Structure 1
């Protein structure tokens, strides 16, 4: 990492909030690239040139500055990063009074330089991941060979593994990004990626051996002050599996009930089958029944739904509806007569289920 004007000024702005001394940062050409005294920027600091040449500190007194153009009395120290000199930091003032503070400032500059380097590397890495994921999840498809090559050589991951995708969505969901990452780290949950995606999603690929998904998700939900919905895909293998699990998680969100925070695609097998029925086939088989159902009183619709949810149990359905068994039997008879489908028949009940979960 080279010290540029942009980088030097970023360091100066961070340090000047806490230290009230004149600070200069010089690049490897001895040019002042950042300073608390803006009038000195772009000047050549001959003291810095000597520091770079000898890779040792240079202390200048009032007498010394005559022989060092573009300098003031003060202390100038080499800036080291990854065991290489990257520039010079100088502090103006009486050398005896500022020698110690200059060493502290140099240490602060080097720490700040390392922090900026880490942040930039993390940002670059996240950009790589984001680009890779957008290619993988593109609705028009993807090139498996190129993505596998990028996974191995750019992202340094093994594409021959299994993962489960979680999709977090909701208003201002990106506010949950840091809490999700912190929870994954704190709980030592092995995850492949945690990224914002599109406008209102955060996608997480977790190790399939992790089985405390509800606990993990509930912690994030409890942290958020707004409604959060999470779709959970199945465990799938390889790069294609990441894509499949993502779209499974998305589909589970489409099937989720309004009061459900977590929805697993593996719990939505029937909904998936029903959703796969072409509109033409649905209309040919179910449309007339749908119209008749729609014209019934709400108590009949409620009776069907409860009866099916109670697995055809007369006793449990009557208890749930708080009606007599004979009243329930009468309603079921009426349903058979009014719409031509008998809820007590498995065959007819399946058609009713399709209609209820599709349209009503």
Structure 2
């Protein structure tokens, strides 16, 4: 843990942004938490709670809710960006209008932008000019906001092109409950964090259909192969997918009721359509947009991603979930070791 007290802005007062604000406040930092709903900001400041996103959790005194982007960024050098992928350009566009001093962005969202096929760090680089954007750090790994807010043991990874700033962010967040590793593979950390949501949707569908642990274990294992297959084509280190932001994040997201993506998939498996699921969730399900982006990436890089392809059909072509799972099981036979070796040789 860093001995230096920092002013840190957290943009996004959802469950993950609030949980990370708790970690930072526990470490003694002055935390400003931005949200766009005034009643939520008032609740954070008067009751020290954020009941919609983290029910039953008391927030530390070191967290101040702020509804103005200009105010939340005043005299701040480190900004935690915790908004959904689809809101990143809008939020950073507003920041660009008034920000003049350089800031380091620590982004904690997990997604890929459809159509542009950009990773989040690439979106940030497009939206903020070099005069404003000092560095980008990715924070990712197996971490449910609900458990982090309860100070349950959690381990994540941070990655940046500038490892000095990655080390600084490691110190910023590190404490006895929240362990942080560094990893220089930005591409791998971002791809692992984004694509695991696709496999979690598929795992939820499998559970919703009433299939057991055997089917889910197969989805997780073959899902990891898909993630590594695409990630290495895009320039990632294959070993990253054996770490926290690969298999670690994949396991926790595919097996927990805390996972929005698993819960959404579970509802799909039980017969709801996508619109009904998203309305009932009431929160962003990143895996839906990421499935479209990953499907487009698989075509761009000519990479086999059968689980992603099957899920794309369920989400966007109204394919029957059971038929999609049956088609996956009925694919042509292949040799597992040969398949895995090919991924590592990419």
- Give yes or no for TM over 0.5: no
Larger Rg: 1
Range class of TM-score, shorter chain: under 0.3
- Report the TM-score when normalising by structure 2: 0.23
- Report the TM-score when normalising by structure 1: 0.22
Please state which structure has a larger fraction of its residues in strand: 1
